[in-house]
Every structure is written in structure tokens, then in C-alpha cells.
């Protein structure tokens, strides 16, 4: 299994509070991604990174920001959590263009 660790694994937070999810990899892969999984939608890309300090938006980026200050860490921040951001969040890594992505175990976030 690829070395990907997501933390926390579960979190309950209140509407309007900021939340940060962390993804840590030990594979030294260049690309990192944040996806969310919701019923009826599959997995949708939130943000991705193609190198340290190089990030870009995905399909559902509104209300989210990311940072990547080190190769191994990719942080996802919900600036002011809303109930629509209740979801399961997956981090993924990929070594190069056209290579398979490996996924973390997921973080279940509930916004109340």
C-alpha cells in the first residue's frame, strides 16, 4: 500500500468554523489531490498540487483552500465550514502524468 496518511479520520465541527484536513505521504510523489465523495456524485476533485507551492483548483473548489509547503504534506482548509461540506474527503497521490493514483483512507467530516 502507498504511504498516505490522512488526519483526522473523523471530525465533527460547527457551521462557520475553519477546519484543516491533513494529508501526509511517504512516497515522494509529485502530484497530490483532494477529492470529496458524496452520494450520487462519485468522487469530485477539489484542489490538486503539482509540486511544492504549486496548486490549482478542481471541479468543486469554492469554499476550500489548499497549501503545500513540503513535498510530503498537502493541507485542505475549509475557511468557514457549511453543512454542504459534510462529506468524506480523500487525499490521493500520483507519481507522474498518466500514472495511477493511490488514495488515503479518507476523512469523514460532519458540519452541524
Partner 1 sequence: DQQVKQNSPSLSVQEGRISILNCDYTNSMFDYFLWYKKYPAEGPTFLISISSIKDKNEDGRFTVFLNKSAKHLSLHIVPSQPGDSAVYFCAASAAGTASKLTFGTGTRLQVTL
Q: By CB under 8 A, name the binding residues for partner 1.
A: 4, 31, 33, 35, 40-45, 48, 50, 56, 58-59, 90, 92, 94, 96-106
Distance CA 2, CA 102 (A): 6
- Residue 69, Cβ neighbours under 10 Å: how many? 10
| Phi/psi of residue 31, nearest 5 degrees | -100, 140
Closest to partner 1 by CB, 10 or 16: 10
- Shortest spacing between CB 50 and partner 1, in angstroms: 5
Closest to partner 1 by CB, 54 or 79: 54
Choose among 53, 52, 19: nearest CA to 36.
19
Closest to partner 1 by CB, 56 or 79: 56
- Shortest spacing between CB 80 and partner 1, in angstroms: 26
Closest to partner 1 by CB, 33 or 64: 33
Burial of 68 (0-12, 13-18, 19+ CB in 10 A): buried
- Shortest spacing between CB 17 and partner 1, in angstroms: 25
Distance CA 9, CA 75 (A): 14
- Shortest spacing between CB 31 and partner 1, in angstroms: 6
Amino acid at each position: 500500500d502507498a504511504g498516505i496518511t490522512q488526519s483526522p479520520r473523523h471530525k465533527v465541527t460547527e457551521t462557520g468554523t475553519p477546519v484543516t484536513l491533513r494529508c501526509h505521504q511517504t512516497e515522494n510523489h509529485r502530484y497530490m489531490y483532494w477529492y470529496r465523495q458524496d452520494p450520487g456524485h462519485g468522487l469530485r476533485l477539489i484542489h490538486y498540487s503539482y509540486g511544492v507551492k504549486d496548486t490549482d483548483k478542481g471541479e468543486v473548489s469554492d469554499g476550500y483552500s489548499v497549501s503545500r509547503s513540503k513535498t510530503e504534506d498537502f493541507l485542505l482548509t475549509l475557511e468557514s465550514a457549511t453543512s454542504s461540506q459534510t462529506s468524506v474527503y480523500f487525499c490521493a497521490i500520483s507519481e507522474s502524468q498518466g500514472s495511477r493514483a493511490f488514495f488515503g483512507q479518507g476523512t469523514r467530516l460532519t458540519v452541524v
